[in-house]
Amino acid sequence: MYELKVITQFSAAHRLDNFYGKCEALHGHNWKVEVFLAGEGLDGAGLLMDFGVVKARTREVLEEFDHKYLNELPAFRDQNPSSENLARYLFQRLSATLNCDGARVRRVNVWESDTSCASYYQD
């Protein structure tokens, strides 16, 4: 089994409803996003998937978040834009655009700080 990872980032503001603490107030993060893909075989060039393709498609998805107030976006009108929900949303969006016969999105990690990360994956 092969695995690859790309790392990117975006900046955005959010607040958490039904949360009683500092994160209830409007605040922002410089989120780091890690996207993992896995597969058993390589293509003719010896790649699971071109890093450039993974990075470009990830940047396209993150454009809807970058420098935005996440609570106002359609994806988060009915749920908090927590790191957990961001990781699940990104996993689903990236799976739809990246999954192919040879490679699958395996996990998405969303870091809201240097020491705090949420992951989403499916068994």
Query: What was the pLDDT predicted at 23?
Result: 85
Distance between CA atoms of 44 and 32, rounded to whole angstroms? 31
Contact yes or no for 9/31 (Cβ under 8 A): yes
CA angle 102, 106, 109 (to 5 degrees): 145
Domains and CATH numbers, the chain: 2-120 (3.30.479.10)
Distance between CA atoms of 86 and 76, rounded to whole angstroms? 9
Each residue's pLDDT tens digit, 32-60: 999 999 999 999 999 999 999 999 999 99
Instruction: Count other C-beta atoms under 10 Å from residue 58's C-beta.
Output: 24
Each residue's pLDDT tens digit, 99-113: 998 899 999 999 999
Distance between CA atoms of 111 and 34, rounded to whole angstroms? 8
